[in-house]
Structure 1
Amino acid sequence: MFYAIGKLATRYRWWIVGVWLLAGLLALPFAPRASSVLRSGGFFDPNAESQKAIDLLTSKLHLNLTTVQVIYDSKQYRVEDPIFTQKVEQSLAQVRNWSMVGSVVSYTDNPRQISQDRHAAYVNVELKTDADTAPKILPQLEQRLRHVDGMTYHVGGGAVFYEDIQQVSENDLRRAELLAFPFATIALLLVFRSVVAAILPGLVGGFAVVVTLAMLFGLGQVTDLSIFVLNITTLFGLGLGVDYSLFIVSRFREELARGRGVNEATVLTIATAGRAVAFSGLTVSIGLFGLTFFRINMLRSVGLGGMLVVLLAVAAALTLLPALLSILGTRINAFPVRVPRLWGRRQAAQEPVGDHHGFWYRLSQFVMRYPVRIFVSVLCLLVAFGLPFLGVRFSAPDASILPPYVPSREAYDMLQQRFNLRETTPIILAVQTKGDVLSDQNIRNLYAYTKRIEADPRVQRVDSIVSADPRFTLDQYELLYHNPKLVTDPYLGALLKSTVSGNTMLVQVVSKYEMNDIRSQELVVTIRNTNPGNGIHVLVDGGSAADYDYVTTLYTDFPKAVLIIFAITYLVLFLLFRSLVLPLKAILMNTLSILASYGALVIIFQDGFLHQFLNFSPLGFVEASSPILLFCTLFGLSMDYEVFLLSRIQETFWQTGDNTRSVALGLQRSGGIITSAAVIVIVVSACFATADVILVKALGVGMALAVFLDATFVRGLLVPSTMRLLGDWNWWLPFKGVQRKPPTLDEYMLDEDAAALSLNGHSESKDAQDINVGGKL
Structure 2
Amino acid sequence: MRILLAKLGAICTDHPWRTLGVWVVLFAATIGAAAAFGGQMQDNYHVEGLDSIAGSELLADRFPDLAGTDARVVVHDDVALDPGVLTSLQSRLQTLDGVGTVSPARISSDGDTALISVQYRIPVTDFQGTDGIDALRSATAPLEREGIQVELGGQVAENISSPGGTAEAVGIVVALVILLLAFGSVVAAGLPIVVAIIGVGIGSGIVAVLASFTQISPMAPTIATMVGIGVGIDYALLLVTRFADGLRSGMTSKESAAHANSTAGVSVVYAGTTVLLCLLGLRLAGLPVYASMGYATLAVVGAVMLTSITVVPALCALAGTKLLPRMPRRGGGQARTEKWARMVCRRPAAWTLAALMLLAVLAAPVLDMRMWPQNAGTQPTSNTTRLAYDLIDHEFGPGANGPFMVAVDLSQVSTSRLDYLTEELARDPGIAVVGTPITNPEGDTAVVMFEPTTGPSDEETVALLTHLRHDVLPEGAIATGVTPVFADITDRVAERIWLVVAFVVALSVVLLTVVFRSIVVAVKAAAMNLMSVAAAYGVMVALFQWGWGAELLGLPHAVPVSSWVPILMFTILFGLSMDYEVFLLSRIRELWLHSGDAHSSVVDGVASTGRVITSAAAIMVAVFLGFALDADVTIKMMGVGLATAVLVDATIVRMVLVPSTMTLLGQWNWWNPFTRSAGRPRTSPVTLAEPVSASK
Pair in the same fold by TM > 0.5: yes
Which secondary structure state, in structure 2, belongs to the residue aligned with residue 226 of structure 1? coil
Q: Structure 1 residues 299, 176: CA separation in 2 closer, same or farther (over 3 Å shift)?
A: same
* Mapped partners of 1:612, 1:248: distance in 2: 40
Q: CA deviation at 1:93?
A: 6.0
1:104 is aligned to 2:45 = no
Q: Residue 609 of structure 1 is aligned with which of 521, 535, 548?
A: 548
User: Which deviates more from structure 2 when the two are superposed, residues 419-428 or residues 652-661?
Assistant: 419-428
Indicate the residue corresponding to 1:151 in structure 2: 148
Q: Structure 1 residues 288, 33: CA separation in 2 closer, same or farther (over 3 Å shift)?
A: farther
Q: What per-residue deviation string (whole Å, max 9, x for no partner) do you get for residues 455-486 of structure 1?
A: 76545565555xxxxxxxxxxxxxxxxxxxxx
Give the residue type in structure 2 aligned to 1:632.
Answer: T
Q: Residue 366 of structure 1 is aligned with which of 331, 336, 343?
A: 343
1:22 is aligned to 2:25 = yes
Give the residue type in structure 2 aligned to 1:157.
Answer: G
Stretches of structure 2 lacking an aligned partner (at least 5 in a row): 689-696
1:413 is aligned to 2:413 = no
1:140 is aligned to 2:135 = yes
Q: CA deviation at 1:529?
A: 3.5
Q: Residue 374 of structure 2 is aligned with which of 397, 406, 413?
A: 397
Indicate the residue corresponding to 2:209 in structure 1: 218
1:257 is aligned to 2:244 = no
1:567 is aligned to 2:476 = no
Give the residue type in structure 1 aligned to 2:612.
Answer: I
Give the residue type in structure 1 aligned to 2:126.
Answer: T
Indicate the residue corresponding to 1:765 in structure 2: none
The residue correspondences of 1:488-507 to structure 2 (distance < 5 A) are 495-496=438-439, 498=440, 501-507=442-448
Which secondary structure state, in structure 2, belongs to the residue aligned with residue 689 of structure 1? helix
User: Which deviates more from structure 2 when the two are superposed, residues 175-184 or residues 640-649?
Assistant: 175-184
Q: CA deviation at 1:527?
A: 3.4
Q: Residue 115 of structure 1 is aligned with which of 105, 108, 112?
A: 108
* Mapped partners of 1:272, 1:127: distance in 2: 58
Indicate the residue corresponding to 1:480 in structure 2: none
The residue correspondences of 1:128-207 to structure 2 (distance < 5 A) are 129-134=122-127, 135-145=130-140, 146-147=142-143, 149=146, 151-163=148-160, 166=161, 168=162, 171-172=163-164, 174-207=165-198
TM-score normalised by L of structure 2 = 0.90
* Mapped partners of 1:518, 1:272: distance in 2: 52
* Mapped partners of 2:313, 2:501: distance in 1: 35
Q: CA deviation at 1:558?
A: 0.9
Give the residue type in structure 1 aligned to 2:11.
Answer: R
Q: Structure 1 residues 74, 295: CA separation in 2 closer, same or farther (over 3 Å shift)?
A: same
Give the residue type in structure 1 aligned to 2:148.
Answer: M
Aligned length: 677
* Mapped partners of 2:169, 2:626: distance in 1: 9
Q: CA deviation at 1:693?
A: 0.8
Q: Which runs of 4+ in 1 moved over 6 A?
A: 737-740
Indicate the residue corresponding to 1:734 in structure 2: 673
Which secondary structure state, in structure 1, belongs to the residue aligned with residue 552 of structure 2? helix
Which secondary structure state, in structure 2, belongs to the residue aligned with residue 367 of structure 1? helix
Q: What per-residue deviation string (whole Å, max 9, x for no partner) do you get for residues 344-397 of structure 1?
A: 84465xxxxxxxxx1111111110111111111111111101112222222122
Which secondary structure state, in structure 2, belongs to the residue aligned with residue 227 of structure 1? coil
Q: CA deviation at 1:564?
A: 0.7
Which secondary structure state, in structure 2, belongs to the residue aligned with residue 260 of structure 1? coil
Q: Structure 1 residues 448, 160: CA separation in 2 closer, same or farther (over 3 Å shift)?
A: closer
Give the number of the structure whose alpha-carbon radius of gyration is greater.
1
Q: Residue 324 of structure 1 is aligned with which of 315, 318, 326?
A: 315
Give the residue type in structure 2 aligned to 1:76.
Answer: V
Give the residue type in structure 2 aligned to 1:153.
Answer: V
Q: What per-residue deviation string (whole Å, max 9, x for no partner) do you get for residues 474-504 of structure 1?
A: xxxxxxxxxxxxxxxxxxxxx34x5x74433
* Mapped partners of 1:426, 1:38: distance in 2: 28
Indicate the residue corresponding to 1:290 in structure 2: 281
Stretches of structure 1 lacking an aligned partner (at least 5 in a row): 108-112, 349-357, 466-494, 747-777
Indicate the residue corresponding to 2:469 in structure 1: 528
Q: Residue 443 of structure 1 is aligned with which of 415, 419, 422?
A: 415
Which secondary structure state, in structure 2, belongs to the residue aligned with residue 132 of structure 1? helix
Q: CA deviation at 1:719?
A: 1.0
Which secondary structure state, in structure 2, belongs to the residue aligned with residue 506 of structure 1? strand
Indicate the residue corresponding to 1:245 in structure 2: 236
Give the residue type in structure 1 aligned to 2:8.
Answer: L
Q: What per-residue deviation string (whole Å, max 9, x for no partner) do you get for residues 145-174 of structure 1?
A: 2126463221222101102xx2x1xx23x1
Contact kept in structure 2, 1:368 and 1:724, CA below 8 Å: yes
Indicate the residue corresponding to 1:658 in structure 2: 597
Q: CA deviation at 1:552?
A: 0.7
* Mapped partners of 2:100, 2:486: distance in 1: 28
Which secondary structure state, in structure 1, belongs to the residue aligned with residue 447 of structure 2? strand
Q: CA deviation at 1:653?
A: 1.0
Contact kept in structure 1, 2:359 and 2:531, CA below 8 Å: yes
Which secondary structure state, in structure 2, belongs to the residue aligned with residue 68 of structure 1? strand
Which secondary structure state, in structure 2, belongs to the residue aligned with residue 188 of structure 1? helix
* Mapped partners of 2:433, 2:158: distance in 1: 28
Q: Structure 1 residues 683, 733: CA separation in 2 closer, same or farther (over 3 Å shift)?
A: same
Contact kept in structure 2, 1:604 and 1:610, CA below 8 Å: yes
Q: What per-residue deviation string (whole Å, max 9, x for no partner) do you get for residues 180-239 of structure 1?
A: 332222221111112222222122211211111111122111100011122122212211
Q: CA deviation at 1:453?
A: 5.8
* Mapped partners of 1:397, 1:301: distance in 2: 18
Which secondary structure state, in structure 2, belongs to the residue aligned with residue 186 of structure 1? helix
Give the residue type in structure 1 aligned to 2:150.
Answer: Y
Indicate the residue corresponding to 1:85 in structure 2: 83
Give the residue type in structure 2 aligned to 1:218.
Answer: V
Indicate the residue corresponding to 2:402 in structure 1: 425
Q: CA deviation at 1:74?
A: 2.1
